[in-house]
Amino acid sequence: MKETYYRDPEQVAHRINTLKLLKANFILKQSNYTTTIIFPNGAKELYVNKMRSMDVFKANKVIAKEAIPKYIEADFEERLEYYGINPSKFLEVRIEKPPIYNIDLRAAYPTALKNLGLISEKTYKYLLRLDKLDRLACIGMFAAKKTVYTISQGEFVNVETEESEHKNIFYLPAYITDEIMKACRRTIGEADFLFYWFDGVYFTGKRHFKTLAKELTETFKIDFKFQQLRNFKAQDTGETIKLEFTEPKKGFKQFAIPKRQTLINANDLIHQAVIQ
């Protein structure tokens, strides 16, 4: 039996300390986004940063069936950056003059897998029917890296790392997407480039659109969405970079780019609860 909860690092640490006081036996598996406590009778407690639908797990199995037999071995993980920021302009942009433009790649990771021949057209179309975040999650599961702690009679006894043997099913399309974003940055130039985040690039200067469109469709063979944003605001909160803007069709949107240190701090809190 598995119980699923929202992961609050302080609450997870409290749960661990309670189990240790009770002299419990358990295994704890920790990643950047999940914590799992496994008991000797097979019962599990799963703590997640965000709840996901069952479609994510189903899609992951569909991809695995096609991609694993064609798996590509290489070190793509160390080459990834995920985002790039122009510090001289990014946080100073507050107004609509000049206008801010955005190009979002459509289904970037599934498209990369399809273009590489790792998944079929049928699977690609199936993935397109999923929510964008669910698409990313079902592919991201292949790169899950966990720290595994063993606790016996409430005492920490061992720690080891558990890594997916098929991690490049995520890291390869992530690397390709990252390279596309860097190519867009070069095309735009530092004078007008603001930042990119995963599969979206933000910039000033509409004149770059025609060159970018040709590069994306002809060189990279990927579809995209182009739009002008309004009321753009970026703020460094310390733990994240918070973004706010208005899209033409969807209206107001906000999200935060987490700094790697934020994830490290959350994991450290749980780590200390285990080993102390």
What tokens were used for 191?
């004078």
Q: Higher pLDDT residue, 3 or 59?
A: 59
pLDDT confidence of residue 109: 94
The number of folded domains in the chain is 1
More confident residue, 54 or 124: 124
Identity of the residue numbered 144 = A
**Global confidence as pTM:** 0.76
Separation of alpha carbons 71 and 166, rounded Å: 7
pLDDT higher at 92 or 121:
121
Q: What is the pLDDT of residue 137?
A: 87
Summarize pLDDT for 253-271 with one digit per residue, the tens: 888 777 655 555 556 666 6
Phi-psi region of 107 (alpha: psi -120 to 50; beta: other; left: phi over 0): left
pLDDT digits over 190-215, tens only? 989 988 988 999 998 889 999 999 99
Quick one: pLDDT band at residue 91, thresholds 50, 70, 90?
low
Which backbone phi and psi does 45 adopt, to 5 degrees? -120, 120
What are the pLDDT digits (tens) for 136-180? Answer: 889 988 988 889 999 999 999 999 988 888 999 999 999 999 999
102 forms bridges with which residues in the sheet?
202, 227
Domain that holds residue 248: 2-275
